[in-house]
Amino acid sequence: MTAPSGTLNKEPRLVWTGGQFSVVRALVGCLIGIRYILLLPIANAPIFATDEQDLSTAQEFLDGAKWIGPAPLGYLPLALGLLLAIALALGYRTRAVSFSLVLLFLAEVTEGLSPHGIAVPTLAVLAIYCALQPPEPFGSLSARGRLDPGGAWSERRFLRPTLWVWFQLGALFTATTFLRGFDSMDGTDPLWVVGPESEGSYWLRSWTSHVPAVIQSCGALAYVGIVVVAAILSLFARTRFAAWCLFFGLHVALLGVLTIPMRCFAGMLVLLAMFDPNWLAPKRIGSPVRVFYDGECGLCHRMVRLILAEDQSADGFRFAPLQSPAFESRVDAKQRAELPDSVAVLTTDGELAVRTTAVIQILDGLGGLWRVAAFALRVPPRALVDLGYDAVASVRKKLFLKPEGACPMIPPKLGERFDF
């Protein structure tokens, strides 16, 4: 299995853009924030259940921790962690905030206060990944008001290969641990292969109690086998996409059967950071894609700045306000009269794509993670998504200030991509 058809082209290789990184950074901040919110109810109580105690809902989410010993976290470190997580999600002083979170995780682990097992080191890796990327990417609070939407942001290219090595070492550790313990495994408890957190997996244990021991052992062996195969495939560029899919599929499967969602979500975010945008190269309906936007709408101006920041081709899109002579010259009067309150994209056959269809075509044209978002928009019924689009369009001018001109705030060089 190789990368999707059509994604390996002769154009210069794509890299992470500031907006794509901001999506990952925001998700990391949200996951860390959720962790601290779920710990708040047990902040001043022992966070580890004894063998005689049932795990609370919060503790089940926190990987089914089941260690003995009073170790209250207290409200102060939890509140600090939550504030840092919010700052990370918003992109405020990302480097300082990320390193502060790493220190907080380190303090939890060294003091024996963390109920997350392997999830905490994974969250720490994600925080370090965010800290080592350049500051002020598009989509961060620190970049707000910048004239050039993309700025000079460029990803640290050594980070993605480093994450792959980290994942490969994890696969090696899983395999060697399994092989060392296989002789002593009697087949009655194969769930140890996914980690000690599986002790909280009451649903799976109830189901597997009716399955023959040999089948349980074969299931554990199959799990390790998939991990090893994925690790081998990840060593080669042409099969790395297949490896990524196997690793991601394993995390989704574990999320469905084990009560260790924090660990699974953290691993899935690492995989998201490892995603190669060349696997989903831009797919455009024309060259360039012509986007018509409302020049009197602040939200539309922000959308145009997003496209300018994320378009790596430098000439893949051209823009014109709906109120401009350029729009009137390219779109006939009948189409203009029937146009809903929407951004519009001119297709190769002269038709106008509007509402969700226009957004999907723009996201497809940007490539990378934006094409994943385009796919997600295709899943629900189009009428339902269009209903949400119309709801936002009806209030956008109330939520965003009217811009001073028809052209967004951009440097003169980017202004060359506009028609008036």
Distance, in Å, from the CA atom of 300 to the CA atom of 99, rounded to the nearest integer, reads 35
Q: How far apart are CA 153 and CA 137, in angstroms?
A: 6
What DSSP character marks residue 134? Answer: P
Task: Check if the beta carbon of residue 400 is closer than 8 Å to that of residue 303.
Answer: no
Give me the pLDDT at residue 280, please. 92
**Contact yes or no for 67/48 (Cβ under 8 A):** yes
The C-alpha angle with vertex 186 and arms to 181 and 191, in degrees rounded to 5, equals 70
pLDDT at 207: 56
What pLDDT, in 10s, does the model give residues 32-77? 999 888 888 766 665 444 333 444 444 444 444 444 344 456 678 8
Q: Residues 280, 4: contact at Cβ < 8 Å? A: yes
**Which sequence spans correspond to the domains of the chain?**
18-154, 173-278, 282-415
pLDDT lower than 70: segments of the chain: 1-12, 42-74, 111-118, 178-214, 216-217, 256-260
Strands 289-293 and 344-346: antiparallel
What is the pLDDT at residue 301?
93
pLDDT in tens, 295-316: 989 999 999 999 999 998 878 8
Using alpha carbons, select from 207, 374, 212 the residue that is nearest to residue 289. Answer: 374
Using CA atoms, how far apart are residues 63 and 240, in angstroms rounded to an integer?
29
